[in-house]
Structure formats: structure tokens, C-alpha cells
Structure 1
Amino acid sequence: MNHAHAILPAGTWPLASAADRIALDYDARHRRRFRYTADAGTEFLLDLPRAAVIHDGDGLRLDDGRIVLVVAAPEALIEVTATSPAALVRLAWHIGNRHLPAQLSDDRILIREDHVIVAMLHGLGATTRAVSAAFTPESGAYAGAHAHGGSGDPSFVFVAHHGH
């Protein structure tokens, strides 16, 4: 079985060179070691030195040189909006205070479905609606914008992307 030891960040490799593709939700894209089967049947073991988030458009380089394109699969989420930027910042604070993964943008916050949190947000004046979208929450203050693997291989780079 092939192993994938390297994540090739989106935009650093030619998409046309992908031998296969795999659509993964956020949990399946945040791994260190896991066995996958891509869409065309390519089986491989993701085997990274530490857990990393694999982002939409990243490639996984296999031992045999082939690259598997990773696509962020849509998942059931809640879109949180507010009447003003200040109100949205306040909602983001309350979500963060509960240590919930959240994808932030200038006009909305995406979180996983959670009826208790949705009720809390409504009580704080939020508008919410169910959506299906790729989920790439913020990586956290201590994750850093760029964390490099220790292999010495320049293609072995983890990049934290922020939502659109």
C-alpha cells in the first residue's frame, strides 16, 4: 500500500497532474494517520509526523510519486449572521468562549450544527440558517500561519488557510 508523507499546498503543484481525487469533510482532513480510498480506487495510508489540516486543493504525494487531489466535501453547518459587524464580533466572542470550531469571514460565521448553541445565538440576536458548505475553521492562535515539517523536504509544508 502506498503511503502519503507529504502535503502539497494548493497552488504549488499542477492540478492536472493529479492521479486521483478524494472529497473529505473537515474531520477526515484533520488527521495524522488514516487509511483512505480515493474516488478512482487509489488506496493509501496518510502517515504524517503530526496531525495536520489538509485543505481544499492540497495534494497528497504518494510514495510512488502520484498525487491525490483533496477536495473539501460539503457538510451540514450553521451560518451565523448579525445586524452589524460589531454584533457579529460579539457573537464570535461567545462562540470562541465555548471553544467551538468556527470559520470566520467578514459577514458570517460557520459552525457545526448544535441546537443548544443555535438557541444561545438566537438569544444574543443572531440570525442562523442551515447550509451545506466546506468547513475550514480557524486553526487557533498557537497553530501559526505556517508550520513546517521537519523532513527537510521543501514540499513538506503545512499551510493554515482561512475561510472565504
Structure 2
Amino acid sequence: MRTFDLTPLYRSTVGFDRLFSLLDQTAGVENGVPGYPPYNIERTGENAYRITMAVAGFSDKELSIESRQNALTVKGEKKVEEGQNAEVLYRGIAGRSFERRFQLADHVEVRGASLENGLLHVDLVREIPEAMKPRQIAIANANTAGKQIEQQAA
């Protein structure tokens, strides 16, 4: 799929920033880098999910996870060490900062996160409130209902 540069439209419009941001996200472009870092979304149970992101080279101190309303944001910011004077001949391991956003469905909560072997696992659970769950309604017999009303009146 081709990507479209919407930058000229930003300069000539007012109030459509959110619309253009949504178009960029739909096209798969986030922070100018499509698809970084790669991730999987798995279903681990009836109401349990797991997002797994490949964040090789990042420590737990360089990653942050924020859950706000129906959005989950994972940020990685690589800290540059001043004492590192090694000359890199080829850079194949990405060390750039990133921000990945996920839209969460209603009643989905983040249960925890773990970093293991360069993979960040974020566990999610969908908990529907008791008031919103389907419930069974007993059907009363017409003859029985009339007798109960008469007994209460007497």
C-alpha cells in the first residue's frame, strides 16, 4: 500500500489535525516509521489477551506503558551513554525511540507487563461490569401472577 504525505494539507487547514492523524495511522505510518517495533496480539483466554512487542536492546527503565481511557501507549526511549566510544561499522539493531498506540475496547484493563528475552508482554483482561452482563428474567405464569396480586391486596 502506498503512503501519502499529508504535510501540505496541515499548513492549509485549521481544526483537522485529528482527522489527518487518523489517516496517517490508518496508512500505518507512526512517527515516520511504519511497523516499528513489530508486535503480536494474542488471545490467551476467553476474556484475556496479550500484546507482545519486540523491543530488543531496550531495558525496563527505557520503556514506559500508559493506559488512559480506551488507549494503551507504549514508549521506548533509548538513552545514549556518554562513555561509549565504539565505532559502529554496521547498525542492524534498531536503537531508535518509538511510540506505539493501541485502541482498546470498552472494559479492557491492563493487568501487567513483563520484559523477557527482548520481548515486552502486556497482559490485558476484558471485565464486563455485572450490570452490563446478560441476565435471565423469570417468566411468570399469568394465573400465578393474578393470585399473588390478590393476596397482597387482602
TM-score category (smaller protein): under 0.3
TM-score normalised by the chain length of structure 2: 0.24
More strand by share: 1
More helix by share: 2
